[in-house]
Amino acid sequence: MRIDLHVHTRESSAAPEYWLGELIGVQECYTPAESALAEALRKGLDGVAITNHDSADDALRLARARPARVVPGCEYTVYAGRDRYVHVVALGIDRGRHERLMHERSRGLARFAGFCRGEGLVHFLAHPAWEVGREKRGIEPADLREWLEHFDVIESLNGNCQIENEIASGLARYFRKSRVGGSDAHDIDHIGSVWTEAEADTPAEFLDRVRAGETAPGGTPTTHGEFTGAVRAIIGAFYRRELLKTFRGGSVGGYVAHAGIDGFLKTVIKFAILPAYFIVPQTASVAYLDKLRETAKRLRDRLIDALELDLAKSIASEKLGVEERSRRLLSGLRELSAAFGGE
């Protein structure tokens, strides 16, 4: 089976992470859950995991209706200490476990991952390096190593992450973690661009294969141009909804009567900046991704340096002869280099 393990629907209603979207009130996804599943099946996949941000209504509802095709899940925002938050995808949830996980996510990553493990829930660290460039204090190598202690599975191939996937893949190889992939699609066009493959006939068997580490990610992440297209698609969906709201009143007077003067003025402002829809997403999203790329490259280099230092300290602490110490160090450095692409 091939399943896209990281799909969003319109239940993910927070503002996206670019300034125009935040300014005019765009939400990060407008895709109906049924359409998300249909798109994945159309592209030849066997199913999807619906994983909205800190919400599971769509996932649980669609999994009840299409249990052979849908894995119920959620992408939780989990407190990781020192003012840091990570995204953790938990799969195979039900209503009770979801409510408990919503409670545990604020109590720390160790508590959250421990509950998942105790309940037998498949859970993985999503896009481990994606937070780079977005926090006042960027991710440190020590953060990544600390987070990985709580996971047997990480998302090494994310449809939006590009160079950050190199860090995730290197971490998975070096620390012997199982790897999964998902599109992380917030627009319908990119659903199924990345997936996870396993020998299974049902979603339950598929999750068993994930637990056993018998999976492989596949697909191709979005390019700069495709990311820009996704931004435009989301903003376009926003404006279509705004037009429907306006016409629902039957006339401008009817809309004003329904929305009030404040609502009418806000709508005028939104449509006044509509030309930016054609200009800003191109420049802003490319610049945004370039910034992430540069920051991720620096993190990757610092991470490799930190792992090399850890390796040297670990070998130095053992009672070894000079030749054995040199052999172990050389072998470890080769393993590290192979894990992160030989650079």
Other CB atoms within a 10 A radius of the CB of residue 338 amount to: 12
The answer to whether 23 and 16 have CB atoms below 8 angstroms apart is: no
Distance CA(123)–CA(44), nearest Å, equals: 25
| Residue 18 reports pLDDT greater than 60 | no
**Amino acid 307: pLDDT:** 96
**Amino acid 132: pLDDT:** 44
Number of compact structural domains in the chain:
1
Average pLDDT over residues 134-146: 77
**Amino acid 227: pLDDT:** 74
Within a domain: 312: no
Within a domain: 50: yes
Average pLDDT over residues 66-75: 98
Which residue type sits at 6? H
Tell me what the pLDDT averaged over the chain comes to. Answer: 86
Determine phi and psi for 281, rounding to 5 degrees. -55, -35
Q: Which domain holds residue 128?
A: 2-223
Entry pTM: 0.86
| Residue 233 reports pLDDT greater than 70 | yes
34-53 confidence digits (pLDDT tens): 999 999 999 999 999 999 99
**Beta sheet of 2-7, edge-to-edge order:** 178-182, 153-158, 122-125, 84-91, 70-81, 47-50, 2-7, 194-197, 216-219
| Residue 133 reports pLDDT greater than 60 | no
Distance CA(260)–CA(216), nearest Å, equals: 53
Least reliable range by pLDDT among 97-101, 233-237, 326-330: 233-237
Other CB atoms within a 10 A radius of the CB of residue 250 amount to: 11
Residue bearing the bigger pLDDT, 239 or 78: 78
Within a domain: 178: yes
| Residue 168 reports pLDDT greater than 70 | yes
Of 312, 311, 305, 309, whose CA–CA distance to 343 is shortest?
Answer: 305
Within a domain: 301: no
Within a domain: 183: yes
Within a domain: 47: yes
22: domain CATH number?
3.20.20.140
Determine phi and psi for 86, rounding to 5 degrees. -125, 160
205-216 confidence digits (pLDDT tens): 999 999 999 999
Q: What CA–CA distances, in Å, run from 311 to 56, 125, 329, 334?
A: 42, 24, 7, 11
Residues contacting 68, CB < 8 A, separation 6+: 47, 202, 203
Average pLDDT over residues 250-257: 56
Within a domain: 341: no
Within a domain: 215: yes
